[in-house]
Structure 1
Amino acid sequence: MKLNKKVQVLYGIGVSYAIVDQIFAQWILYFYLPPESSGLKPIMAPALISIALAISRIVDMITDPTIGYLSDKINTRWGRRIPFIAVGSIPLGITTIAFFYPPTGNPTSSFIYLAIIGSLFFTFYTIVGAPYNALIPEIGNTMEERLDLSTWQSLFRLLYTAIAMIIPGLLIKVLGKGDTLIGIRYMVFILSIISIIGGFVTVFGVKEKNYSKGEVSKISFRETINSLKSYKSFYFYLLGLLFFFVGFNTLRATMNYYVEDIMGYGKAQITLASAILFGMSALFFYPTNKISKKIGYRKVMLGCLGLLIIFTGMLYFLGKILPTSFGFVLFALLGIPVAGGAFIFPPAMLSEISNKISEKTGNKIEGICFGIQGFFLKLAFMLSILVLPFILVWNNNGSGNVTKDGIYMTAIFSVISFIISAYFYYKYEE
């Protein structure tokens, strides 16, 4: 059956888990290791934060290929992928909220709590995310349909991420009424509810069995992994993706610090900076899509990385050579390459790669392909969150506080990550 626009839109709405993704990227570190001007107190030492989140990422990295493999093998009357989204959406929202209610006063208890909640969060994130992405080659039976599904997913991901970056500052101010802790908790609760609702729109709106051929993988986990070993471009793509998101996640996590500590503005300007970045990204979404159809993904992706290297490098000079107000211009410029690199390309590129692999192997193993991609995406989060607390306290003389030198060094770290990513995308054969 041919996919109509309604089904494509209902599929796209289900990427609402991007909201909790953004909450984690932008607010977890801010909450547990806040800047001096935030009104919050550090909950535990930077080293304990890094270890706790690293533990949760290790758990997550194990579940990614496992969930992908299971969704390739399972066969229900609702399909292979939809049941996972239905089971995981509510627990994912609950664990997101739980991040912001840690026990305080005892660093050991806080550490154990963060490690456990983080592990549960990423497990449910995988249960929802990997099968959701694998729906693209599952219900899209032509390249055009898969591209349309990827485009709608990218459009809604952009929307949800923009909401999760733009609205929080306003919600914290209005609902908190001067109390940052209460404001953040209300903000997280509201956004988590929106995330859950979006997931169930896809669960009830997309009848997977009407479009899927109902085929399942007939080979074991080991045989599946062995069948992927000969596809070098798949791994060049994954390595390029890994280092891109190490750099991008670092940028996302440090935007608040740049606005407040480098540029000297308040939480309302965090909202403005986010609106500028994602507004510009939205403007370049359609042109990026059109150019990619003509010359392919690889060349455009390399161009995006070139721009990211230049504009991210300029952040290092903000408040030194460049006036602090120029930061808003830089956020706008960064939005141009983010449109393609962070939104359009990951689902579109892997949909074609996984479909080609499934055709060559004779087994429908798209789920594990997206599970492996999820492994690399989570590894990127783990790497950035592992080193970021140490970078942020650069030259603090043992005080444990975030420094301006540390914030500037995050730009250098991101630039290095983008350069490595460009190398692997250059090696990738489209």
Structure 2
Amino acid sequence: MKGRRFFVLFMYSLGYMGISIFTQTAVKWYQYYYTPPAFNTQGLKILVPIGLIGFSMIVARIFDGVSDPIVAYYSDKLRSRWGRRIPFVLFGSPVLFLSFIMIWFPPVEHESILNFVYLTFVLSLFFVAFTAVVAPYLALIPEITKSAGERITLTMMQGITQILGVMVAEAGSGILIRIFNFKVMGIILGSFAFVTLMLTPLFVKEEPVKEEDMPTVSMFASIKMTFSNKDFIYYLTAITALWFGLNTLTIAMPYITEVLLKIPAENSGFMIAGAFVVAVFFSFFVPKLSLAYGKKKVFMVFSAFFALILGLTGLFGTVFSKTLSIVIILLAGIPLSVFFVIPNAMIADIAELDGIKVGQRREGMFFGAQGFVVKVVMGISSLVTPLLFRAFGYSAESPLGLMLCGPLAGVLILLSLVVFRNYSISEKELEKKG
């Protein structure tokens, strides 16, 4: 890969750092900020009734999910001097930035239905803007890579920058909250994330798409074609289960840290950041493993490993000591390195082969359809997690709700792998048809 081309792909990959900072920070802290435990080191007060907080996220995810196929369809068909994808990143990023800041500025500083309505609106705006930016951004992958090796290298760079973004969100948010407060944290991290996203429209130039390769079908026909792709369905089953598990762990970690491990909730960020340090190290081995054994096998093995780790979180503070619990969280970085590299390459493979088969370039719709399903599932996770807390408890006296989150998510991942076994795309097929 030539120096200039590597530089452009690297600038593009840095956008994923901003994406992960936005989403990881929002998902990690929104529930804790609006419904903190009775004892917390920040002196926070409950702003939204615990029974309603999950509904804010699921409503937001529904709006987000509905916007996915719409954004995907129009990003596939858009004709502009900047290309099909870049305009969405360029004009959607400012809205994403402003809505992220708004999360940390509730209208009243006490428990109120007004805060619930406000949070529901702001989260909906945030995730719709997130979709408008991220789906077209990811759809650039099969367009700007020229070979399978280049594609897995790019997704490795994306995986590393995504991990670095999560580390900034996890550790950086805790540090900024401790030094300042949630509001200042939101402004600082939001500004940094916005700058990294704007590197894509600044440095990436889209290649023009031939007129005969432009989609001609309607939006609903394109959606139907996408969900008729069997390999896409097999892939989607596994990836949604993984996101359910990761989202559940993200929401539960501040509570697990403070209630089960009996250390300040802000330290959960340092533990997650430590796991991502491990993930960065192992990310460099993922391309070689994928080329040697195939993406499917590597994905299945490490998904099962992640399911095991999720199951073990149910024993934190009881069977496992604080030190051993921290070690287990650090080991999660190994499967996460695969999780952050391989999926984007797989969906790009699926979209490329589909384009060859049907004669229409619909990369955006595949990433958009994935986004729709993943975000609805994450919304369900955001609803299920607080309901588990409410039904079984999330206090030191009654911690069963916290202890159930990880094991239930782990079982779901293992069940999804039974379906994913039917995934049929191989590296040999890609080389032959490419």
Q: Same fold (TM over 0.5)?
A: yes
Q: Greater shift after overlay, 195-204 or 385-394?
A: 385-394
- 2-side partners of 1:100 and 1:402: how far apart? 30
- Write out the 4+ residue segments of structure 1 that deviate beyond 4 Å after TM superposition: 211-215, 399-403
Give 2:374's aligned amino acid: L
- 1-side partners of 2:70 and 2:412: how far apart? 28
Give 1:405's aligned amino acid: L
CA contact (8 A) 1:35 1:401 kept: no
Q: Among 408, 423, 427, which residue is 2:422 paired with?
A: 427
**1:147-186 residue pairs with structure 2 within 5 A?**
147-175=152-180, 183-186=181-184
CA contact (8 A) 1:33 1:43 kept: yes
Cα displacement (A) at 1:418: 1.6
Q: Greater shift after overlay, 420-429 or 56-65?
A: 420-429
Q: Greater shift after overlay, 200-209 or 412-421?
A: 412-421
- 1-side partners of 2:237 and 2:76: how far apart? 23
CA contact (8 A) 1:11 1:149 kept: no
- When normalised by structure 2's length, the TM-score is 0.91
CA contact (8 A) 1:263 1:325 kept: no
- 1-side partners of 2:37 and 2:134: how far apart? 31
Cα displacement (A) at 1:304: 1.0
- 2-side partners of 1:229 and 1:62: how far apart? 15
What CA RMSD, in Å, does the superposition of the two structures yield over aligned residues?
2.1
- 2-side partners of 1:360 and 1:402: how far apart? 58
How many residues end up aligned between the 2 structures?
419
- 1-side partners of 2:336 and 2:151: how far apart? 21
Corresponding position of 1:339: 337
Cα displacement (A) at 1:67: 0.2
Corresponding position of 2:315: 317
Corresponding position of 1:125: 130
Q: Does 1:278 align with 2:279?
A: no
**1:323-402 residue pairs with structure 2 within 5 A?**
323-341=321-339, 343-396=340-393
**1:410-425 residue pairs with structure 2 within 5 A?**
410-425=405-420
Q: Deviations over 1:353-376 (max 9, x none)?
A: 111111111011001111001112
SS in 2 for 1:37: coil
Identity %: 30
**1:128-147 residue pairs with structure 2 within 5 A?**
128-147=133-152
Give 1:90's aligned amino acid: P
Q: Deviations over 1:7-53 (max 9, x none)?
A: 11011011212111101221111111212332212212223212222
Q: Deviations over 1:71-121 (max 9, x none)?
A: 000011111000000011111011111111122346321121112111111
In structure 2, do the counterparts of structure 1 residues 37 and 149 end up closer, same or farther at CA, with 3 Å as the change threshold?
same
Cα displacement (A) at 1:148: 2.7
- 1-side partners of 2:149 and 2:287: how far apart? 13
- 1-side partners of 2:267 and 2:420: how far apart? 35
Corresponding position of 1:19: 21
Q: Greater shift after overlay, 48-57 or 223-232?
A: 223-232
**1:28-427 residue pairs with structure 2 within 5 A?**
28-38=30-40, 39-104=43-108, 105=110, 107-175=112-180, 183-209=181-207, 215-267=213-265, 269-341=267-339, 343-396=340-393, 403-427=398-422
Cα displacement (A) at 1:60: 0.9
- 1-side partners of 2:82 and 2:91: how far apart? 12
Cα displacement (A) at 1:334: 1.1
In structure 2, do the counterparts of structure 1 residues 395 and 365 end up closer, same or farther at CA, with 3 Å as the change threshold?
closer
Cα displacement (A) at 1:401: 9.9
In structure 2, do the counterparts of structure 1 residues 138 and 319 end up closer, same or farther at CA, with 3 Å as the change threshold?
same
Cα displacement (A) at 1:64: 0.3
- 1-side partners of 2:273 and 2:100: how far apart? 23
Cα displacement (A) at 1:213: 5.4
Q: Could you tell me which runs of 5 or more consecutive residues in structure 1 were left unpaired when the two chains were aligned.
A: 176-182
- 2-side partners of 1:275 and 1:101: how far apart? 26
In structure 2, do the counterparts of structure 1 residues 310 and 223 end up closer, same or farther at CA, with 3 Å as the change threshold?
closer
Q: Deviations over 1:272-320 (max 9, x none)?
A: 3123211111121112221111111111111112212222222111221
SS in 2 for 1:165: helix
Corresponding position of 2:431: none
CA contact (8 A) 1:64 1:126 kept: yes
Q: Deviations over 1:176-224 (max 9, x none)?
A: xxxxxxx111111111111110111111111124x76575322221332
- 2-side partners of 1:216 and 1:382: how far apart? 33
CA contact (8 A) 1:297 1:345 kept: yes
CA contact (8 A) 1:97 1:188 kept: yes
- 2-side partners of 1:308 and 1:201: how far apart? 32
CA contact (8 A) 1:55 1:119 kept: yes
CA contact (8 A) 1:392 1:403 kept: no
